[in-house]
């Protein structure tokens, strides 16, 4: 992922959501990669380190083949071991400065949910800043209050002035994509990628990813990776 972050879909493989639906995370990732999203993050809060490392290592070659940066959530150590391109950290994780000290080869993104956190992140100059939740979300049990479109617009103005890509997070849907693409480089999606029918779920995931990436301003490559 050569800076700046490409526009479009920032896809998140949320293992808890997939397991609850009986979906395989690797097959899900390959289906999403049909769209050639701006990035693909593996998020697995409940997996043991060994299991998460195995998942990252299984996903890494798929991302390389698709030309899509692989993002590890939180775990800088596993990101390095698995050969990820980026690590995404939250406010309770390692600081951007420390990530760069221990893993200088990794790019780093950071989540923010208020003006104070945004200003601190801008000073640290990560490779991108995530802002949200913009809309209500069911993907986090401890989600912060929504910043709304006005909060996203304020973040966009500040990050644009600083030359740092902005990722919108929280409640991103296909219907909301046209307004979000005006105020964010990319938008992170979990729920809107999940299939709603039991038949051909991975084909549905691929179709959802393609639609979301296009609606969010992304450009799809001419030769897609076939879904698993």
Domain locations along the chain:
8-215
CATH class of 8-215: alpha beta
The least confident of 5-9, 16-20, 129-133, 221-225 is 221-225
Residue 2 scores a pLDDT above 50: no
CA distance 62 to 77: 20
Assess contact for 220 and 213: CB atoms under 8 A: yes
139 falls in which pLDDT band (50, 70, 90)?
confident
Residue 220 scores a pLDDT above 70: no
CA distance 39 to 46: 22
Rg value, the chain, Cα = 16
pLDDT average, residue stretch 59-76: 97
Please report, rounded to a whole number, the percentage of residues in the chain having pLDDT higher than 70: 93
Mean pLDDT of the chain: 93
If one counts every other C-beta atom within 10 angstroms of the C-beta of residue 61, the result is 11
Assess contact for 13 and 29: CB atoms under 8 A: yes
């Amino acid at each position: 992922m050569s800076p700046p972050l490409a526009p479009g879909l920032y896809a998140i493989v949320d293992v808890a959501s997939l397991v609850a639906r009986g979906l395989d995370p690797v097959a899900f990732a390959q289906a999403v990669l049909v769209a050639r999203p701006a990035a693909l993050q593996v998020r697995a809060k409940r997996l043991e380190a060994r299991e998460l490392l195995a998942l990252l290592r299984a996903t890494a070659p798929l991302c390389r083949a698709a030309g899509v940066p692989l993002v590890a959530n939180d775990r800088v150590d596993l990101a390095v071991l698995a050969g990820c391109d980026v690590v995404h950290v939250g406010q309770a994780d390692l600081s951007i400065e420390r990530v760069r000290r221990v893993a200088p080869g990794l790019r780093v993104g950071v989540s923010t949910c208020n003006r104070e956190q945004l200003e601190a992140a801008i000073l640290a100059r990560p490779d991108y800043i995530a802002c949200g939740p913009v809309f209500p979300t069911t993907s986090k049990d401890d989600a912060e209050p929504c910043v709304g479109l006005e909060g996203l617009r304020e973040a966009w103005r500040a990050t644009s002035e600083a030359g740092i890509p902005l990722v919108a997070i929280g409640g991103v849907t296909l219907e909301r994509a046209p307004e979000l693409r005006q105020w964010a480089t990319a938008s992170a999606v979990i729920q809107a990628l999940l299939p709603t029918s039991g038949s051909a779920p991975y084909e549905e995931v691929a179709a959802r990813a393609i639609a979301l990436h296009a609606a969010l301003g992304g450009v799809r490559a001419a030769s897609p990776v076939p879904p698993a």
